[in-house]
Amino acid sequence: MKHDEDLDFSSKCVHSGIEENEFGAVVPPIYQTSTFKFKSADHGASLFAGKEKGYIYTRLANPTIEAMENAIAELEGGYKALGCASGMAAIHTVFASMLSAGDHVVCSAAVYGPTTTLLNTIMKKFGVGTTFTDTTDVGNVLNAMKPNTKVVYVETPGNPTLCISDIEEISKIAHEHNAKVVVDNTFMSPALQTPLALGADVVLHSLTKFLNGHADVVGGIVVVKDEETYTQFRKVLNQTGGVIDPFNSFLVHRGLKTLAIRMEKHTENAQKIAEWLEKHPMVKSIRYPGLKSHPNYEVGLRQHKAPGGMITFEVEGGIEAGKVLIGSVKLCQLAVSLGGVESLIEHPASMTHFSMGKDARLAAGITDGLVRISVGIESADDLISDLDQALAKVKEVIRHLEKTEA
Ligand code: LCS
Protein backbone atom coordinates (compact mmCIF):
# COMPACT_ATOMS: atom_id res chain seq x y z
CA MET A 1 0.00 0.00 0.00
CA LYS A 2 1.34 3.41 -0.96
CA HIS A 3 1.76 6.17 1.62
CA ASP A 4 -0.90 8.84 1.34
CA GLU A 5 1.52 11.35 -0.23
CA ASP A 6 2.48 8.84 -2.98
CA LEU A 7 -1.08 8.25 -4.13
CA ASP A 8 -2.02 9.38 -7.62
CA PHE A 9 -3.89 12.71 -7.80
CA SER A 10 -7.13 10.94 -8.83
CA SER A 11 -6.98 8.73 -5.71
CA LYS A 12 -6.33 11.77 -3.53
CA CYS A 13 -9.42 13.48 -5.04
CA VAL A 14 -11.58 10.59 -3.82
CA HIS A 15 -10.03 10.14 -0.37
CA SER A 16 -8.55 13.46 0.83
CA GLY A 17 -10.03 15.04 3.93
CA ILE A 18 -12.09 11.94 4.83
CA GLU A 19 -11.59 10.90 8.46
CA GLU A 20 -12.98 7.94 10.40
CA ASN A 21 -16.31 8.82 12.03
CA GLU A 22 -18.50 7.38 14.75
CA PHE A 23 -20.75 5.15 12.59
CA GLY A 24 -18.26 4.33 9.83
CA ALA A 25 -20.15 6.41 7.26
CA VAL A 26 -18.28 6.32 3.94
CA VAL A 27 -19.40 9.89 3.28
CA PRO A 28 -18.58 12.19 6.19
CA PRO A 29 -21.56 13.70 8.02
CA ILE A 30 -22.68 17.30 7.61
CA TYR A 31 -22.34 19.13 10.92
CA GLN A 32 -25.05 21.67 10.15
CA THR A 33 -24.73 23.47 13.45
CA SER A 34 -23.79 27.02 14.35
CA THR A 35 -22.43 26.15 17.78
CA PHE A 36 -20.99 23.29 19.89
CA LYS A 37 -21.93 22.36 23.46
CA PHE A 38 -19.19 22.56 26.12
CA LYS A 39 -18.84 19.72 28.65
CA SER A 40 -18.49 22.24 31.49
CA ALA A 41 -17.72 25.91 32.18
CA ASP A 42 -14.05 24.98 32.55
CA HIS A 43 -14.07 23.09 29.25
CA GLY A 44 -15.52 26.17 27.42
CA ALA A 45 -12.96 28.46 29.02
CA SER A 46 -10.15 26.07 28.16
CA LEU A 47 -11.22 25.90 24.47
CA PHE A 48 -11.37 29.71 24.27
CA ALA A 49 -7.95 29.98 25.91
CA GLY A 50 -6.55 27.54 23.33
CA LYS A 51 -5.46 25.11 26.06
CA GLU A 52 -7.55 22.30 24.54
CA LYS A 53 -8.53 21.49 20.96
CA GLY A 54 -12.20 21.33 20.05
CA TYR A 55 -15.02 23.08 18.26
CA ILE A 56 -16.64 26.23 19.66
CA TYR A 57 -18.61 28.08 16.98
CA THR A 58 -18.91 27.49 13.23
CA ARG A 59 -17.49 30.91 12.20
CA LEU A 60 -14.26 29.81 13.94
CA ALA A 61 -14.16 26.15 12.85
CA ASN A 62 -16.50 23.29 11.93
CA PRO A 63 -15.65 19.64 11.14
CA THR A 64 -17.45 19.62 7.74
CA ILE A 65 -15.70 22.81 6.66
CA GLU A 66 -12.37 21.52 7.95
CA ALA A 67 -12.71 18.22 6.05
CA MET A 68 -13.13 20.13 2.75
CA GLU A 69 -10.30 22.54 3.64
CA ASN A 70 -7.94 19.65 4.44
CA ALA A 71 -8.81 17.93 1.16
CA ILE A 72 -7.98 21.01 -0.93
CA ALA A 73 -4.82 21.76 1.09
CA GLU A 74 -3.66 18.24 0.26
CA LEU A 75 -4.52 18.52 -3.45
CA GLU A 76 -2.64 21.84 -3.72
CA GLY A 77 0.33 20.50 -1.71
CA GLY A 78 -0.14 23.14 1.00
CA TYR A 79 -0.05 23.15 4.81
CA LYS A 80 -3.67 24.13 5.50
CA ALA A 81 -6.58 25.92 3.83
CA LEU A 82 -9.24 28.46 4.77
CA GLY A 83 -12.76 28.04 3.37
CA CYS A 84 -14.39 31.36 2.46
CA ALA A 85 -17.89 32.48 1.52
CA SER A 86 -16.88 33.21 -2.12
CA GLY A 87 -13.81 33.60 -4.30
CA MET A 88 -13.95 37.36 -3.64
CA ALA A 89 -14.05 36.71 0.14
CA ALA A 90 -10.92 34.54 -0.32
CA ILE A 91 -9.17 37.33 -2.25
CA HIS A 92 -10.18 39.91 0.36
CA THR A 93 -8.98 37.64 3.18
CA VAL A 94 -5.58 37.38 1.48
CA PHE A 95 -5.23 41.14 0.92
CA ALA A 96 -6.51 42.06 4.40
CA SER A 97 -4.08 39.55 5.96
CA MET A 98 -0.97 40.44 3.96
CA LEU A 99 -1.25 44.20 3.44
CA SER A 100 -1.20 47.40 5.54
CA ALA A 101 -1.61 51.06 4.65
CA GLY A 102 1.40 52.23 2.63
CA ASP A 103 2.02 48.80 1.02
CA HIS A 104 2.06 48.16 -2.72
CA VAL A 105 0.78 45.30 -4.88
CA VAL A 106 1.89 44.26 -8.36
CA CYS A 107 -1.09 42.62 -10.07
CA SER A 108 -1.65 40.92 -13.44
CA ALA A 109 -3.57 43.26 -15.76
CA ALA A 110 -5.86 40.42 -16.89
CA VAL A 111 -7.62 39.21 -13.75
CA TYR A 112 -11.28 38.67 -12.86
CA GLY A 113 -12.87 42.16 -13.12
CA PRO A 114 -13.94 42.52 -9.44
CA THR A 115 -10.36 41.68 -8.29
CA THR A 116 -9.19 44.81 -10.15
CA THR A 117 -12.07 46.78 -8.66
CA LEU A 118 -11.34 45.54 -5.10
CA LEU A 119 -7.73 46.75 -5.39
CA ASN A 120 -8.74 50.04 -7.03
CA THR A 121 -11.47 50.93 -4.54
CA ILE A 122 -11.55 49.23 -1.11
CA MET A 123 -7.84 48.40 -0.82
CA LYS A 124 -6.98 51.86 -2.17
CA LYS A 125 -9.25 53.43 0.46
CA PHE A 126 -7.19 51.63 3.13
CA GLY A 127 -3.94 53.03 1.71
CA VAL A 128 -2.76 50.15 -0.51
CA GLY A 129 -1.45 51.09 -3.96
CA THR A 130 -1.47 48.74 -6.98
CA THR A 131 0.42 48.60 -10.27
CA PHE A 132 -1.38 46.52 -12.89
CA THR A 133 0.94 45.11 -15.51
CA ASP A 134 1.10 42.42 -18.16
CA THR A 135 2.71 39.69 -16.02
CA THR A 136 3.22 37.41 -19.05
CA ASP A 137 6.42 39.44 -19.48
CA VAL A 138 8.52 38.95 -16.34
CA GLY A 139 10.43 42.14 -17.23
CA ASN A 140 7.22 44.07 -16.52
CA VAL A 141 7.02 42.49 -13.05
CA LEU A 142 10.62 43.49 -12.33
CA ASN A 143 9.96 47.08 -13.49
CA ALA A 144 6.81 47.35 -11.38
CA MET A 145 8.48 46.28 -8.11
CA LYS A 146 8.87 49.04 -5.50
CA PRO A 147 10.58 48.99 -2.09
CA ASN A 148 7.11 48.75 -0.46
CA THR A 149 5.80 45.94 -2.74
CA LYS A 150 4.50 43.21 -0.41
CA VAL A 151 2.42 41.09 -2.79
CA VAL A 152 2.72 40.04 -6.42
CA TYR A 153 -0.75 38.82 -7.39
CA VAL A 154 -0.99 36.61 -10.45
CA GLU A 155 -3.98 35.02 -12.12
CA THR A 156 -2.85 32.42 -14.63
CA PRO A 157 -4.40 31.66 -17.03
CA GLY A 158 -5.94 35.12 -16.71
CA ASN A 159 -9.68 35.71 -16.88
CA PRO A 160 -10.76 36.10 -19.67
CA THR A 161 -7.75 36.49 -22.01
CA LEU A 162 -6.18 33.16 -20.92
CA CYS A 163 -2.75 34.78 -20.97
CA ILE A 164 -0.19 32.69 -19.07
CA SER A 165 2.31 34.11 -16.57
CA ASP A 166 5.43 32.21 -15.51
CA ILE A 167 4.85 31.46 -11.80
CA GLU A 168 8.40 30.16 -11.21
CA GLU A 169 10.16 33.20 -12.72
CA ILE A 170 7.78 35.68 -11.08
CA SER A 171 8.30 33.97 -7.69
CA LYS A 172 12.09 34.35 -8.05
CA ILE A 173 11.76 38.09 -8.77
CA ALA A 174 9.23 38.66 -5.97
CA HIS A 175 11.31 36.78 -3.40
CA GLU A 176 14.47 38.71 -4.35
CA HIS A 177 12.43 41.82 -3.46
CA ASN A 178 11.05 40.35 -0.20
CA ALA A 179 7.53 40.19 -1.62
CA LYS A 180 5.15 37.21 -1.51
CA VAL A 181 3.44 35.63 -4.52
CA VAL A 182 -0.28 34.91 -4.52
CA VAL A 183 -1.74 32.87 -7.40
CA ASP A 184 -5.42 32.66 -8.33
CA ASN A 185 -5.53 29.07 -9.62
CA THR A 186 -9.27 29.05 -10.39
CA PHE A 187 -8.94 28.42 -14.15
CA MET A 188 -6.67 25.38 -13.77
CA SER A 189 -7.53 23.71 -10.44
CA PRO A 190 -4.86 21.61 -8.68
CA ALA A 191 -5.58 18.80 -11.14
CA LEU A 192 -3.71 20.80 -13.79
CA GLN A 193 -1.47 23.25 -11.94
CA THR A 194 0.03 23.45 -8.43
CA PRO A 195 1.45 26.98 -7.93
CA LEU A 196 2.95 26.26 -4.48
CA ALA A 197 5.26 23.68 -6.06
CA LEU A 198 6.36 26.36 -8.55
CA GLY A 199 7.40 28.78 -5.80
CA ALA A 200 4.19 30.70 -5.02
CA ASP A 201 3.48 31.45 -1.34
CA VAL A 202 -0.31 31.45 -1.35
CA VAL A 203 -2.83 29.91 -3.74
CA LEU A 204 -6.52 30.72 -3.89
CA HIS A 205 -9.63 29.67 -5.80
CA SER A 206 -13.17 30.56 -6.45
CA LEU A 207 -14.65 27.21 -5.32
CA THR A 208 -17.70 28.21 -7.32
CA LYS A 209 -15.87 26.98 -10.45
CA PHE A 210 -13.99 23.76 -11.27
CA LEU A 211 -13.34 22.61 -7.69
CA ASN A 212 -17.03 22.27 -6.91
CA GLY A 213 -17.79 21.73 -10.57
CA HIS A 214 -21.60 21.63 -10.50
CA ALA A 215 -22.65 25.30 -10.57
CA ASP A 216 -24.58 24.95 -7.30
CA VAL A 217 -22.22 26.55 -4.75
CA VAL A 218 -20.61 29.94 -4.23
CA GLY A 219 -17.40 29.60 -2.22
CA GLY A 220 -13.70 30.34 -2.05
CA ILE A 221 -10.53 28.85 -0.59
CA VAL A 222 -7.06 30.06 0.37
CA VAL A 223 -4.20 27.55 0.71
CA VAL A 224 -1.05 28.47 2.62
CA LYS A 225 2.35 26.86 3.09
CA ASP A 226 3.05 27.23 6.81
CA GLU A 227 1.51 27.50 10.25
CA GLU A 228 2.50 31.13 10.82
CA THR A 229 0.68 32.33 7.69
CA TYR A 230 -2.27 30.10 8.50
CA THR A 231 -2.66 31.61 11.99
CA GLN A 232 -2.33 35.14 10.61
CA PHE A 233 -4.97 34.54 7.90
CA ARG A 234 -7.32 32.61 10.22
CA LYS A 235 -7.45 35.53 12.66
CA VAL A 236 -8.49 37.88 9.84
CA LEU A 237 -11.11 35.45 8.51
CA ASN A 238 -12.52 34.84 12.00
CA GLN A 239 -12.81 38.58 12.59
CA THR A 240 -14.17 39.61 9.20
CA GLY A 241 -16.46 36.58 9.11
CA GLY A 242 -16.48 35.68 5.41
CA VAL A 243 -16.49 31.92 6.04
CA ILE A 244 -18.08 29.18 3.96
CA ASP A 245 -20.91 27.20 5.59
CA PRO A 246 -21.05 23.45 6.32
CA PHE A 247 -23.54 22.47 3.60
CA ASN A 248 -21.64 24.25 0.82
CA SER A 249 -18.42 22.69 2.15
CA PHE A 250 -20.05 19.26 1.93
CA LEU A 251 -21.07 19.90 -1.69
CA VAL A 252 -17.57 21.09 -2.63
CA HIS A 253 -16.02 18.05 -0.93
CA ARG A 254 -18.38 15.82 -2.94
CA GLY A 255 -17.45 17.69 -6.15
CA LEU A 256 -13.73 17.14 -5.49
CA LYS A 257 -14.09 13.37 -5.81
CA THR A 258 -14.59 13.71 -9.58
CA LEU A 259 -12.18 16.63 -10.11
CA ALA A 260 -9.51 14.57 -11.88
CA ILE A 261 -11.87 12.99 -14.43
CA ARG A 262 -13.87 16.18 -14.92
CA MET A 263 -10.70 18.16 -15.74
CA GLU A 264 -9.66 15.44 -18.23
CA LYS A 265 -13.00 15.68 -20.02
CA HIS A 266 -13.12 19.53 -19.89
CA THR A 267 -9.67 19.59 -21.49
CA GLU A 268 -10.37 16.92 -24.10
CA ASN A 269 -13.53 18.76 -25.19
CA ALA A 270 -11.94 22.22 -25.15
CA GLN A 271 -8.96 21.04 -27.23
CA LYS A 272 -11.30 19.59 -29.89
CA ILE A 273 -13.51 22.68 -29.94
CA ALA A 274 -10.55 25.10 -30.03
CA GLU A 275 -8.97 23.24 -32.97
CA TRP A 276 -12.31 23.34 -34.78
CA LEU A 277 -12.91 27.04 -34.03
CA GLU A 278 -9.38 27.96 -35.14
CA LYS A 279 -10.20 26.69 -38.64
CA HIS A 280 -13.70 28.23 -38.83
CA PRO A 281 -13.93 31.13 -41.35
CA MET A 282 -16.19 33.17 -39.02
CA VAL A 283 -13.63 33.09 -36.19
CA LYS A 284 -11.31 36.09 -36.29
CA SER A 285 -9.02 35.13 -33.43
CA ILE A 286 -8.87 32.49 -30.72
CA ARG A 287 -7.01 31.93 -27.47
CA TYR A 288 -6.66 28.49 -25.96
CA PRO A 289 -3.58 27.37 -23.99
CA GLY A 290 -3.57 24.06 -25.91
CA LEU A 291 -3.13 25.72 -29.32
CA LYS A 292 0.39 26.34 -30.63
CA SER A 293 -0.85 29.79 -31.72
CA HIS A 294 -1.22 30.77 -28.03
CA PRO A 295 1.48 33.40 -27.35
CA ASN A 296 2.54 31.75 -24.06
CA TYR A 297 2.17 28.14 -25.26
CA GLU A 298 5.71 27.15 -24.19
CA VAL A 299 5.35 28.56 -20.65
CA GLY A 300 2.04 26.69 -20.40
CA LEU A 301 3.69 23.40 -21.38
CA ARG A 302 6.22 23.82 -18.54
CA GLN A 303 3.74 25.00 -15.97
CA HIS A 304 0.49 23.07 -16.31
CA LYS A 305 -0.31 19.42 -16.88
CA ALA A 306 -3.03 20.18 -19.46
CA PRO A 307 -4.53 23.33 -21.00
CA GLY A 308 -7.93 23.21 -19.26
CA GLY A 309 -11.53 23.96 -20.21
CA MET A 310 -11.63 27.69 -21.02
CA ILE A 311 -11.59 29.22 -24.53
CA THR A 312 -11.91 32.83 -25.66
CA PHE A 313 -12.43 33.93 -29.22
CA GLU A 314 -13.60 36.78 -31.39
CA VAL A 315 -15.97 36.36 -34.32
CA GLU A 316 -15.88 38.31 -37.58
CA GLY A 317 -18.30 41.24 -37.48
CA GLY A 318 -17.37 42.81 -34.10
CA ILE A 319 -19.50 43.18 -31.01
CA GLU A 320 -22.88 42.89 -32.79
CA ALA A 321 -21.84 39.60 -34.37
CA GLY A 322 -20.66 38.41 -30.95
CA LYS A 323 -24.09 39.18 -29.50
CA VAL A 324 -25.77 37.16 -32.26
CA LEU A 325 -23.48 34.24 -31.45
CA ILE A 326 -24.12 34.18 -27.70
CA GLY A 327 -27.83 34.66 -28.31
CA SER A 328 -28.02 31.78 -30.82
CA VAL A 329 -26.38 28.90 -28.95
CA LYS A 330 -28.75 26.26 -27.63
CA LEU A 331 -26.71 23.63 -25.78
CA CYS A 332 -24.21 26.16 -24.39
CA GLN A 333 -26.03 28.39 -21.92
CA LEU A 334 -25.68 32.16 -21.90
CA ALA A 335 -24.50 32.77 -18.34
CA VAL A 336 -21.50 34.04 -16.38
CA SER A 337 -19.43 31.81 -14.11
CA LEU A 338 -17.46 28.81 -15.33
CA GLY A 339 -16.02 25.43 -14.41
CA GLY A 340 -19.28 23.50 -14.13
CA VAL A 341 -20.24 20.33 -16.00
CA GLU A 342 -22.48 22.39 -18.29
CA SER A 343 -20.99 24.61 -21.01
CA LEU A 344 -21.49 28.35 -20.49
CA ILE A 345 -20.89 31.24 -22.87
CA GLU A 346 -20.59 34.95 -21.96
CA HIS A 347 -19.43 38.37 -23.17
CA PRO A 348 -16.72 39.72 -20.79
CA ALA A 349 -16.85 43.42 -21.84
CA SER A 350 -20.54 43.77 -20.91
CA MET A 351 -20.66 41.15 -18.14
CA THR A 352 -17.80 39.75 -15.99
CA HIS A 353 -15.31 42.56 -16.75
CA PHE A 354 -17.76 45.46 -17.13
CA SER A 355 -16.86 46.94 -13.71
CA MET A 356 -13.19 47.43 -14.75
CA GLY A 357 -14.05 50.18 -17.25
CA LYS A 358 -13.08 50.19 -20.94
CA ASP A 359 -9.54 51.61 -20.57
CA ALA A 360 -8.45 48.95 -18.05
CA ARG A 361 -10.13 46.29 -20.19
CA LEU A 362 -8.29 47.32 -23.33
CA ALA A 363 -4.99 47.54 -21.41
CA ALA A 364 -5.61 43.93 -20.34
CA GLY A 365 -6.42 42.84 -23.91
CA ILE A 366 -10.16 42.42 -23.28
CA THR A 367 -11.63 43.68 -26.54
CA ASP A 368 -15.34 44.41 -27.00
CA GLY A 369 -15.77 41.49 -29.41
CA LEU A 370 -14.32 38.83 -27.10
CA VAL A 371 -16.54 35.85 -26.25
CA ARG A 372 -15.64 33.34 -23.50
CA ILE A 373 -16.71 29.69 -23.31
CA SER A 374 -16.43 27.48 -20.28
CA VAL A 375 -16.45 24.08 -21.95
CA GLY A 376 -18.48 21.51 -20.03
CA ILE A 377 -18.43 17.72 -20.10
CA GLU A 378 -21.16 17.23 -22.73
CA SER A 379 -20.18 15.52 -25.99
CA ALA A 380 -17.64 17.64 -27.91
CA ASP A 381 -19.47 16.80 -31.16
CA ASP A 382 -22.77 18.12 -29.77
CA LEU A 383 -21.06 21.32 -28.61
CA ILE A 384 -19.38 21.78 -32.00
CA SER A 385 -22.67 21.33 -33.84
CA ASP A 386 -24.28 23.91 -31.50
CA LEU A 387 -21.49 26.43 -32.17
CA ASP A 388 -21.68 25.62 -35.89
CA GLN A 389 -25.38 26.51 -36.10
CA ALA A 390 -24.78 29.70 -34.05
CA LEU A 391 -21.87 30.76 -36.29
CA ALA A 392 -24.09 30.12 -39.34
CA LYS A 393 -26.59 32.61 -37.83
CA VAL A 394 -23.74 35.14 -37.38
CA LYS A 395 -22.86 34.71 -41.07
CA GLU A 396 -26.51 35.22 -42.11
CA VAL A 397 -26.83 38.41 -40.04
CA ILE A 398 -23.57 39.85 -41.42
CA ARG A 399 -24.68 39.08 -45.01
CA HIS A 400 -28.02 40.74 -44.33
CA LEU A 401 -26.31 43.84 -42.87
CA GLU A 402 -23.93 44.05 -45.84
CA LYS A 403 -26.88 43.84 -48.27
CA THR A 404 -28.87 46.58 -46.51
CA GLU A 405 -25.78 48.83 -46.34
CA ALA A 406 -25.02 48.32 -50.08
N1 LCS B 1 -11.14 34.46 -9.40
C2 LCS B 1 -11.47 34.14 -10.66
C3 LCS B 1 -10.39 33.75 -11.62
C4 LCS B 1 -12.80 34.17 -11.06
O5 LCS B 1 -13.09 33.84 -12.32
C6 LCS B 1 -13.80 34.55 -10.12
C7 LCS B 1 -15.23 34.62 -10.50
C8 LCS B 1 -13.40 34.90 -8.82
C9 LCS B 1 -12.06 34.83 -8.49
C10 LCS B 1 -14.40 35.31 -7.78
O11 LCS B 1 -15.08 34.20 -7.34
P12 LCS B 1 -16.58 34.25 -6.72
O13 LCS B 1 -16.55 35.29 -5.65
O14 LCS B 1 -17.50 34.62 -7.81
O15 LCS B 1 -16.76 32.88 -6.18
N16 LCS B 1 -15.46 34.59 -11.88
C17 LCS B 1 -16.60 34.72 -12.48
C18 LCS B 1 -16.73 34.78 -13.88
O19 LCS B 1 -15.80 34.80 -14.71
N20 LCS B 1 -18.01 34.83 -14.19
O21 LCS B 1 -18.81 34.93 -13.07
C22 LCS B 1 -17.94 34.83 -11.90
Q: Ligand 1 pocket, 83 CB below 6 A?
A: no
List beta partners, residue 80.
224
With 0.85 as the threshold, say if the pTM is over it.
yes
For the segment 141-159, what is each residue's pLDDT rounded down to a tens digit?
Answer: 999 999 999 999 999 999 9
- From atom 15 of ligand 1, which residue's Cα is the shortest distance away? 87
CA distances from 274 to 112, 180, 370 (A): 22, 35, 15
pLDDT, average across residues 53-76: 98
Show Cβ contacts of residue 361 under 8 Å, excluding neighbours closer than 6 positions. 348, 349, 353, 367
- Of the pLDDT bands very low, low, confident and very high (cuts 50, 70, 90), residue 66 is very high
Q: What is the largest CA-CA distance in the chain?
A: 87
Domains of the chain: 9-256 (3.40.640.10), 259-405 (3.90.1150.10)
Query: Ligand 1, from 192, 206, 312: best to mutate by most atoms within 8 Å of Cβ?
Result: 206
Assign 2 a pLDDT band (cuts: 50, 70, 90): low
What confidence tier does 276 reach under pLDDT thresholds 50, 70, 90? very high
State pLDDT tens for residues 97-146. 999 999 999 999 999 999 999 999 999 999 999 999 999 999 999 999 99
Identify the band that residue 198 occupies on the pLDDT scale cut at 50, 70 and 90.
very high
Distances in whole angstroms, Cα of residue 201 to Cα of each of 39, 79, 319, 399 = 39, 11, 39, 53
Ligand 1 contacts CB of residue 162 (under 6 A): no
Share of the chain above pLDDT 90, in %: 87
Q: How far apart are CA 136 and CA 297, in angstroms?
A: 11
Active site residues: 59, 112, 184, 209
Q: Relative to the CA of 186, which ligand 1 atom is closest?
A: 3
Does ligand 1 have an atom closer than 6 angstroms to the CB of 113?
no
Beta strands in 281-353 (DSSP E): 283-287, 310-315, 333-334, 344-346
Radius of gyration of the chain from Cα atoms? 22
Residues 9-15 have a mean pLDDT of 97
DSSP 117-171: HHIIIIIHHTT-EEEEE-TTSHHHHHHH--TTEEEEEEESSPTTT-----HHHHH
206 Cα: distance to centroid of ligand 1 (angstroms): 6
Crossing angle for the helix pair 380-405 and 259-279, to the nearest 10 degrees: 30
Mutating to test ligand 1, I would choose from 112, 222, 312, 343 the residue with most ligand atoms within 8 A of its C-beta, which is 112
CA distance 83 to 177: 30
Does the CB atom of residue 86 touch ligand 1 within 6 A? yes
Asked whether 186 lines ligand 1 (CB < 6 A), one says yes
H or E element at residue 81: strand 80-84
- Please write the tens of the pLDDT for every residue from 24-51: 999 999 999 999 999 999 999 999 999 9
The CB of 339 under 6 Å from ligand 1? The reply is no
pLDDT tens-digit map of 349-386: 889 888 888 898 888 888 888 999 999 999 999 999 99
pLDDT above 60 (res 3) = no
Q: How many CB atoms lie within 10 A of CB 356?
A: 26
Ligand 1 pocket test, candidate residues 163, 204, 209, 244, most atoms within 8 A of CB: 209
How large a percentage of the chain has pLDDT more than 70? 99
